[in-house]
Amino acid sequence: MTERPPRPRFTGVDTYIDSKGRYTYRFPSDWLRYEIDPSLEGVMFSPVRSDDPKTWFSSFARLLEIAAVAEDAPLLRGAVNDGIRQLPGAQIEHEYEAAYGNLLKFERVFTFSEGQDVRKRKLWILYVEKWQIVLTYQGESPGEWEYWLPMGNYCLNSFNVPPELWYATDRDLNKPGTPFDADRVRRGRGGAA
């Protein structure tokens, strides 16, 4: 049996581009792609070949009925924590949140039980205008989570939303009387709409 290296090694990097252009991120090119529930509009990547991988990175987006704004943060914070606490044996280890204009980000690191096994996750939930974008890095166990963490963090830290969505969440551009109008966003050379 070959001993695995003390840290995972990158053999290459690819870019995942959401099919609707809502976000991108980079991921290890040797990770395998798995489809997730089609209603979530997302994807999962795993370093493990399996019918049911337990160590993975996933992303998905869903359309909200109304746009989230910074003032919604307390309500959303409660919903995020309540959702995590519904998992068996859930223990939140780290909480972070921020508002960038009306772009809201909730980060949680937590463990939970799945049968006899303990899983560990790092979760980002972002509210970007009328979109909820969820990024999750999970380890099959706390030890596996720690082992693959550099690659999980790389995926998270390379996450990006396009300028149009940043503009849509900018409170200064979207004051009452100056609503964001996607038709006014000029694209391409020569300023053609």
- CATH homologous superfamily of 23-171 equals Mog1/PsbP, alpha/beta/alpha sandwich (3.40.1000.10)
Residues 18 and 61 sit within 8 Å (Cβ to Cβ): yes
Give me the mean pLDDT over the 65-74 stretch: 93
**Residue 122's pLDDT is what?**
98
Residue 173 has pLDDT above 80, yes or no: no
Which residues in 147-161 are b (16+ Cβ under 10 Å) and which e?
A: bbbebbebbbeebeb
**Residue 165's pLDDT is what?**
83
Residue 155 pLDDT level (bands cut at 50, 70, 90)? very high
**Residue 171's pLDDT is what?**
73
CA angle 124, 127, 133 (to 5 degrees): 55
157: left (phi over 0), alpha (psi -120 to 50) or beta: alpha
Sequence ranges of the domains in the chain: 23-171
Please write the tens of the pLDDT for every residue from 22-45. 999 999 999 999 999 988 899 999
pLDDT, averaged across the chain:
88
DSSP type of residue 146: H
**Residue 166's pLDDT is what?**
79
**Residue 8's pLDDT is what?**
87
Q: At 104, which helix (H) or strand (E)?
A: strand 103-114
Residues 8 and 147 sit within 8 Å (Cβ to Cβ): yes
Give me the mean pLDDT over the 110-119 stretch: 97
Residue 190 has pLDDT above 50, yes or no: no
